[in-house]
A = this chain, B = another copy of it.
């Protein structure tokens, strides 16, 4: 089954806004067992819209259009669709009533430009837009479906969920679809592939494995599709396949599923009533900065230090200048002591630290970090090397530190429980 997302909007092509509609719509479709097979982005231009309608209606079963339905003169999607179908306009009564009520409620004068939003091509079925003023439209063309919706993200998503998907399901019943994500740190994509290739014969032939290299490691998405009647055997078969893959990747899978690292850490700390403090050098605040992006962090993250100048490691954290001189500022000893000092100074249960070079400091030394960890049971540290540019190295250092934190706190909890 072929489904095309057709986005109308010059601002996407100019780099003015990011095309999050494709991402959000793609996720929603997958939840319902569908997949976009293609996306096309075109400007608000008559020729471009006519060409895209002609080409995409020929190739696809379903076309989901967004954008170009506003009241201003540069929004020409509706007019051009009518031209494509060589059809006139009719006024949609329900939309007109909704528009009048909306303008009355907001006490804004109702102009011809606004009233024109209730005009729709004669051959369309209106999809009532409860989140905005421009109606959605559905066209049936030789057994194919064409949907047109506004580009405003929450209006688009509302219409997709409540108007588009039910019509798609009636016309093209979806396959059952089950997936599982394994997240790997410390092993490059090609090595993972090599290990999986060796057990390929034991895996179901229809298993789809996608590799997503991300700043927090490689995400391995394992997917099986099938008829809804085979739901149970599919789930069992996927579970078995995942367990085989996990076996060949032992020690590298740091978590499963889609929760972000800050979300996992938040859950772990709050469920176990632990607190955290962090001392950052190389990452300059980005570890803590990442953790506070989600709501609830103030329940466990006490705070910490950024000790960017070497002198600050001594002045603020009390790392002896001698030790730094002897072992080097990027060393296991300094990282470990930073973690235990920040724990001590803040009174937190867990201390995390990092000291490193975000970019190669000279020709012979690589970008690298020592990550330190401290809790009541002791201190430890871990080394990471980085091969990219400064900004990426910092992001990977943040991921490396959070993964190290996650593992150690999981162990701490297991030990405490035992």
Contacts and interface: CB of A to CB of B under 8 A. Distances in A.
Interface string A1-18: 000010000111111111
A159 to B, nearest CB: 14
B303 A307 contact: yes
Contacts of A152: 213
A210 interface: yes
A10 to B, nearest CB: 7
Given A283-B289, A292-B285, A39 B38 contact: no
- Chain A contact patch, size range: 35 or more
Contacts of A37: 13, 42-43, 48
A306 B284 contact: no
Nearest to A42: B38
Contact of A394 (B15, B48, B284, B293): B293
A221 B15 CA distance: 13
A407 interface: no
A92 to B, nearest CB: 18
A405 interface: no
A35 B293 CA distance: 34
Interface stretch (A107-115, A121-129, A249-257): A107-115
17 contacts: A18-B23, A70-B211, A70-B213, A72-B211, A73-B193, A102-B387, A111-B194, A154-B392, A284-B291, A284-B292, A286-B286, A293-B391, A298-B308, A301-B308, A303-B312, A315-B346, A316-B345
